Structure 1
Amino acid sequence: MELHLLLEAVGYIILIVIGIPGNLTILILFAHIRISTKKLLPIDLILTNLAFVNVITILSEAIPQCLTAFGLHRLFSDVECMIVIFSFFSTRGMSICITSLLSCYQLIIIFPHSSKITIFKNNILKRVFQIISLLWCFNIFIYVWILPYSYSDAESFESENIVDLEYCVIIFPNYSYFMTIGAVRIFRDFLFLILMVIASTFIVLILYRHNRNMKHTLNSSRIQSDSTEGRVAKGVVTMVVMYIFFYGVDNIFWLYTLCILKASPEISDMRTFFTTCYSVFSSVIIILMNKKIKRALKLAIPCIKSQSRENIVSHVQI
């Protein structure tokens, strides 16, 4: 096995081992919170969708790429390739949309209060579910057009408009179709990236102003409240910076793919790896920064240990 393939396989294994348990932990804990409290806050709903999107991204892209690195090429039938490719591309699109929504939501939460802002804030908070649903519809609509052109192998086709993922291929009918899909994707990424950057910039400015004002106040409860909001906001900004880095590299390689027909599979491998990195490490940040999840984990871990002891004792008695 070649060294670069071994390193690629090990890298994907590390991402899978961290990413799937991390995102499933978020989903399970928020499901528990929903069952026990009968409700989820808008930010909880946003983070739940992000964790779900991350899981699908890892399952549909990281695992096939890992198997490919071990020499298992062309893993799926044509129908299975349609499902896997559509799942990956649509959830990748949702990843930037949800992260952008998260940063905009956090900006609305910490924005200084006024009558007009309060009315706008309440209207937005009531419509988070509808906004997420529209984002899903938007990304599904973009990538449903590649379904008929997803195949398991390219040997029987004579076309230069190919995106080779190694385990599957996308064979576009002509160059115009290929460029249209690519341009729409780049435009969507650029639009939501701009929203993300603007929101994060305002968050940083507001946090800076809050920290400066907090030095001149003696209201400890207010300081604690600001500290909590600030911690969450810093976590969101961290996720945005991380997203810009990982998906920025992804888009650079995608532009290269659009300009150079039949780009090498190694380019696709690097794009996929950087995309998967965000799906993995964003879950780590959510777990570390979200107070609800940390509290739920502290409550769950003793219960798990107690259950394990009871199982051991019962087996010994048997």
Structure 2
Amino acid sequence: MSSISFMASLDNLLYFQAGLGVLANMFLLVFYVFIILRHRPKSMDLISCQLTFVHIMMFLAGENFWLADIFESLNVENDFKCKATFYTKRVMRGLSICITCLLSVFQVVMISHGNSMLAKFKHKLKIYTINALFYIWSFNLSLSSNLIFHVGGLTNVSQTNQLKVTKSCSLVPMNYIIRGFFLTVTTSRDMFLVGLMLTTSAYMVIILCRHQRQCKHLHRISHLRESPEKRATQTILLLVVFFVVMYWVDIIISSTSILLWMYDPVIMIVQKFVVNAYPTITPLIQICSDKRIINVVKNWHS
């Protein structure tokens, strides 16, 4: 009985995390849509808007959230529900890491010196942003398409031959070579993007330290503190570091479950917490660091 109540408590905590994440991301999405429609949006606004939408979809595709309830009310077959939700979650997860990496790369371009090699991309940054987002979406939609054939509703196959990924969905038995191939491709993509994020983050830190030394020398530290570029760079650095930490925890749990071909309800809930941590914290960090949002909130109160 104690184990049942413990699992119920974890589920409630997961609901609270998902609810907080959806509300924060919805608020941020409305703000970015307003900026894009009413003003001249920055390239970073377009990227952040996409990231916010992706995070909302990650929550909605959760097993215990609205998308699953909609399928349940429409009496959709469990097999189709599993394919749709699991495919959506995987695509959104891939988009999350790709767009976060894109955010980091473009911020490096934004703060690069006028005589650097990256500076030549600044004047066409919006066009590059739209093109990059198009290719990112196309790539991830294609890469995760194999999941349509390898996931479905629970069958009568014995537990040793199938890996439960949710309470009612499982990965169907597949060849060890195929399983290793897809795991290698996905891991290679993620490792490359994480490496790129760490590289751009190191470059941003170097630029910030260089600016700090220059401003100390010129006795203009107060100007640096008020710099929007510095504030945006620090925000992205925080997001990247947090993402990388959550990524490694998630990849360890996922790889262990797939390689050992086992399912544990507690471990799966912990993994959901880890996966949902980044899309929950990201909008809160962005809201607190964006002065435009802070000014809007202040105007509402006044």
Same fold (TM over 0.5): yes
Instruction: Give distance in 2, aligned partners of 1:116 and 1:188.
Output: 26
Larger Rg: 1 or 2? 1
- Using a 3 Å threshold, how does the CA distance of structure 1 residues 175 and 64 change in structure 2: closer, same or farther? farther
Q: Spell out, residue by residue over 1:109-144, the C-alpha distance to the aligned partner (whole angstroms, 9 max, x if none).
A: 112221643213334443101101111111111111
* Counterpart in the other structure of 1:254: 254
Please identify, of 119-128 and 93-102, the stretch whose mean Cα deviation from structure 2 is larger.
119-128
* Counterpart in the other structure of 1:128: 129
Instruction: Give distance in 2, aligned partners of 1:297 and 1:36.
Output: 18
Instruction: Give distance in 1, aligned partners of 2:207 and 2:126.
Output: 20
- Using a 3 Å threshold, how does the CA distance of structure 1 residues 172 and 43 change in structure 2: closer, same or farther? farther
Native 8 Å contact 1:20 1:55 kept in 2: yes
* Counterpart in the other structure of 1:11: 13
What does 1:22-171 correspond to in 2, within 5 Å?
A: 22-37=24-39, 39-61=40-62, 63-64=64-65, 77-114=78-115, 116-156=117-157, 160=161, 162-171=163-172
Native 8 Å contact 1:16 1:63 kept in 2: no
Instruction: Give distance in 1, aligned partners of 2:28 and 2:104.
Output: 19
Instruction: Give distance in 2, aligned partners of 1:52 and 1:202.
Output: 28
Instruction: Give distance in 2, aligned partners of 1:241 and 1:147.
Output: 32
Native 8 Å contact 2:212 2:221 kept in 1: no
Residue type at the aligned position of 2:59: I
CA positional deviation for 1:149: 2.6
Native 8 Å contact 1:103 1:199 kept in 2: yes
Q: Spell out, residue by residue over 1:269-313, the C-alpha distance to the aligned partner (whole angstroms, 9 max, x if none).
A: 3222201111100111111112233333334x349xxxxxxxxxx
CA positional deviation for 1:77: 1.5
* Root-mean-square deviation over aligned CA pairs: 2.6
Instruction: Give distance in 2, aligned partners of 1:99 and 1:228.
Output: 19
Instruction: Give distance in 1, aligned partners of 2:167 and 2:77.
Output: 11
- Using a 3 Å threshold, how does the CA distance of structure 1 residues 245 and 224 change in structure 2: closer, same or farther? closer
CA positional deviation for 1:159: 6.6
CA positional deviation for 1:185: 1.4
Unaligned runs of 5+ in 2: 70-75
Residue type at the aligned position of 1:23: N
Unaligned runs of 5+ in 1: 69-74, 304-318
Instruction: Give distance in 1, aligned partners of 2:11 and 2:153.
Output: 21
* Counterpart in the other structure of 2:73: none
- Using a 3 Å threshold, how does the CA distance of structure 1 residues 22 and 117 change in structure 2: closer, same or farther? same
Q: How many pairs align? A: 293
Instruction: Give distance in 2, aligned partners of 1:222 and 1:209.
Output: 15
* Counterpart in the other structure of 2:272: 272
What does 1:277-288 correspond to in 2, within 5 Å?
A: 277-288=277-288
* Counterpart in the other structure of 2:22: 20
- Using a 3 Å threshold, how does the CA distance of structure 1 residues 189 and 4 change in structure 2: closer, same or farther? farther
Native 8 Å contact 1:62 1:273 kept in 2: no
CA positional deviation for 1:228: 1.7
Q: Spell out, residue by residue over 1:46-89, the C-alpha distance to the aligned partner (whole angstroms, 9 max, x if none).
A: 10011001101111126359x99xxxxxx961111111111100
Query: Displaced runs of 4+ in structure 1, greater than 4 A?
Result: 156-159, 218-222
Provide the secondary structure at the position in 2 that maps to 1:63. Answer: coil
* Counterpart in the other structure of 1:237: 237
Instruction: Give distance in 2, aligned partners of 1:145 and 1:286.
Output: 34
CA positional deviation for 1:156: 4.3
Native 8 Å contact 2:113 2:119 kept in 1: no
- Using a 3 Å threshold, how does the CA distance of structure 1 residues 179 and 160 change in structure 2: closer, same or farther? farther
Native 8 Å contact 1:164 1:265 kept in 2: no
* Counterpart in the other structure of 1:184: 185
CA positional deviation for 1:170: 2.1
Native 8 Å contact 1:29 1:296 kept in 2: no
- TM-score, normalization by structure 1: 0.84
